Amino acid sequence: KNWTTELRYQHYDKWPEDYIKQLKKQVSQSKWRLNYHVQPETGLLNDPNGFSFFNGKWHLFYQSYPMGAVHGLKSWFHLTSTNLIDWQKEGADLLPDSPYDSHGVYSGSAFPLDDRLFLAYTGNVRDNDWNRFSYQMGAWMDQNNQIEKVQLPLIEQPPKGYTQHFRDPQIFVYQNKYFMVIGAQNEALEGKVLTYMSTDLQNWELQGELDFSEHQMGFMVECPNLVFVDGKALLLFCPQGLEKEILPYQNIYPNTYVVANEFDSENNRLTNPSSLKNLDEGFDVYATQAFNAPDGRALAVSWIGLPEITYPTDREGWAHCLSLTKELTIKEGMLFQNPVAETKDLREKEYKLHGQLHAEPQAISTSIENQYEMNIEFEQGAKGKLTLLADQKENTGLELSFDTERGTMIINRENVGISFGEEYGNQREFSIPQGPLSLRVFVDSSVVEIFINDGEKTATARVFPKESKNDILLSGSQSSFSGKLWTLRSTK
Ligand code: FRU
């Protein structure tokens, strides 16, 4: 298919029913479909939006272009859940059907108020010369999931001195006032986070640039989120074009964070902010959305996918997925990310793993489907290599090399199957604490999420193995290993 601009922005109802039927059929034949991760039925999924708890349920939307694996006319696709692991498809989508969002309902957040959920999003508009306009829009969803848009923009224009790259409003409440952080670009083409304040969710007053770092944040900041975790203020965001001297990263754009003592709303700054850090040490995490849930937890979901990178499923008419729901905690100023406790409800059959590391790779599991969770522990001093999605004879798989003496870990996806995104490198190297090592690994067909030392580091990777590559190999020295493996049920 030749994805001209015209085609990508053609309205959904202009597409023949037969086209969608064919596309569904094509997608259902993909061998890389996932079993317990949220994925698009057809087309492209990107950012998680509107993650919230409302009307007794978890609500989550995602950026969706259903007609193909390209960035086209975007809408919000709505999911609900009672346990954060089984997501049900809802009918009510937020569609690009107003003059203020004619070229896409872009990312945003949700905030419950009384018996309605307020949705804040960016309306993307192009004029005849393809100039961009960005409006910050609102909509109300009732308890029957009926959505009614607020007709006029909440914020009509970027403030003076900023370009039309102005998007992704996140609403939060702080000291009885509503705040909104928005990703922005100034006219000197520098990435910024702008803060607005409101007392009624309708009238928003500019507070200015959020001060959270002495450094330049590249040319644009996307998807900022400010959440409050264990008494600290945590800012998650995606700087585009960030200098690598400020923060080493290899992905096209990183998803980063800063931990601060508090949000000083008077002065619109984060006090005593940490340096910038990568949220994920792997290949594919972007546009993470977090919120403070009413049960006291800070929860996050990431887009597992990156802008401007082609993926092997593109030619099958679908692309990307969402991460597991992660709980964020902060201990001694350090961010930890772990799958929410509910994730354990996916477990089915349990297998025990134990033994000694040897130079010669041993298969610790061979014939289970690539749909499992594995927890495995090594002693201080361990050096080794764990290969997932492996074929011992062909010497292929996703390799995790660890050295607990040096405190390093390397993830290499060069030999997994269909490679992609190689221009950004096939491996990621990062530091891990010296000492005992624990790995909690989730494998689901074509995605791997790794939580290291109780979530002190995470590493996420899309991988596209050839058929029936499901050995788990282990080699190394100076340690025993012990752990468990559970097959996980499908959530479809
Ligand atoms: C991030 C992003 C957002 C935007 C959305 C459009 O991936 O570019 O900034 O709102 O995707 O789909």
DSSP symbols for 205-224:
EEEEE-B--SS--TTEEEEE
**Residue appearing with tokens 């957040």:** 109
Task: Please tell me whether residues 161 and 280 are part of one structural domain.
Answer: yes
Domain end (from 286, 306, 339): 339
Whether 124 lines ligand 1, by a CB cut-off of 6 Å, is: no
Cα distance between residue 166 and residue 193, in whole Å: 9
Nearest to 240 by CA among 268, 209, 219: 219
**b/e code 304-333 from CB counts within 10 Å (16+ = b):** bbbbebebbbbebbbbbbbbbbbbbebeee
Q: How far is the CA of 420 from the centre of ligand 1 (A)?
A: 22
Domain with residue 76: its CATH number is: 2.115.10.20
Residues 361 and 318 in one domain: no
Q: What is the pLDDT of residue 92?
A: 67
Atom of ligand 1 nearest to the CA of 108: 10
Ligand 1 centroid from CA 47, angstroms: 7
Q: Which atom of ligand 1 is nearest to the CA of 122?
A: 10
Asked whether residue 177 falls in the same domain as residue 326, the answer is: yes
Handedness of CA 452, 454, 456, 461 (dihedral sign): positive
Question: What is the 41 CA–ligand 1 centroid distance (Å)?
Answer: 19
For the chain, the domain total comes to 2
168 C-alpha to center of ligand 1: Å? 7
Sign (positive/negative) of CA torsion 134, 136, 137, 141? Answer: positive
Domain finish residue from 317, 339, 361: 339
DSSP 4-25: -HHHHTS-GGGS-HHHHHHHHH
Residue 282: the pLDDT is 98
Burial degree of 156 (CB within 10 A; 0-12, 13-18, 19+) = exposed
Q: Sign of the C-alpha dihedral, residues 379, 380, 384, 387?
A: positive
The domain of 221 spans 5-339
Q: Write out the chain's pLDDT in tens, 492 residues.
A: 899 999 999 999 999 999 999 999 999 999 999 999 999 999 999 999 999 999 999 999 999 999 999 999 999 999 999 999 999 999 768 999 999 999 999 999 999 999 999 999 999 999 999 999 999 999 999 999 999 999 999 999 999 999 999 999 999 999 999 999 999 999 999 999 999 999 999 999 999 999 999 999 999 999 999 999 999 999 999 999 999 999 999 999 999 999 999 999 999 999 999 999 999 999 999 999 999 999 999 999 999 999 999 999 999 999 999 999 999 999 999 999 999 999 999 999 999 999 999 999 999 987 789 999 999 999 999 999 999 999 999 999 999 999 999 999 999 999 999 999 999 999 999 999 999 999 999 999 999 999 999 999 999 999 999 988 999 999 999 899 999 999 999 997
Check whether residue 215 and residue 90 sit in a common domain: yes
Q: For residue 59, which amino acid is it?
A: H
The DSSP code for 28 is H
13, 18, 47, 230: the active-site residue: 47
Pair (102, 216) in one structural domain:
yes
Task: Indicate whether residue 444 lines ligand 1 (CB < 6 A).
Answer: no
Specify whether 97 is located in the same domain as 242: yes
Shared-domain flag, residues 282 and 347: no
Atom of ligand 1 nearest to the CA of 47: 7
Beta strands in 367-488 (DSSP E): 371-378, 383-391, 396-403, 408-412, 427-431, 437-444, 447-452, 457-462, 471-477, 480-488
Q: Verify whether residue 47 is a known catalytic residue.
A: yes
Is the CB of residue 170 below 6 angstroms from any atom belonging to ligand 1? no
User: Does ligand 1 have an atom closer than 6 angstroms to the CB of 101?
Assistant: no
Q: Tell the burial category of 155 from Cβ atoms under 10 Å away from its Cβ (0-12, 13-18, 19+).
A: buried
Residues 296 and 351 in one domain: no
Q: Within this chain, do residues 317 and 350 fall inside the same structural domain, yes or no?
A: no
Q: Is the ipTM of this complex over 0.90?
A: yes
| Final residue of a structural domain among 311, 339, 367 | 339
* Residue 252 near residue 271 (C-beta atoms within 8 A): no
Residue 363 and residue 471 in one domain:
yes
Give CA–CA dist 216/39, Å, rounded. Answer: 34
Structural tokens at position 444: 């689901």
Residue of 44, 45, 46 with the most ligand 1 atoms within 8 Å of its CB, for mutation: 46
Q: Name residue 324's beta-bridge partners.
A: none
Q: Please give the pLDDT value at position 368.
A: 86
**CA distances (Å), origin 161, targets 78, 132, 153, 190:** 35, 16, 19, 11
The C-alpha atoms of residue 55 and residue 118 are separated, in whole angstroms, by 12
Quote the ligand 1 centre to 46 CA distance (angstroms).
7
CA distance to 8, 109, 415, 468, per residue, from 63 (Å): 15, 12, 31, 31
Tell which one of 74, 165, 223 to mutate to probe ligand 1, the residue whose CB is within 8 A of the most ligand atoms. 223
CATH number at residue 404: 2.60.120.560
Determine the pLDDT at residue 453: 97
**Residues 276 and 382 both lie in one domain:** no
229 in the same domain as 171: yes
Distance CA 263, CA 269 (A): 6
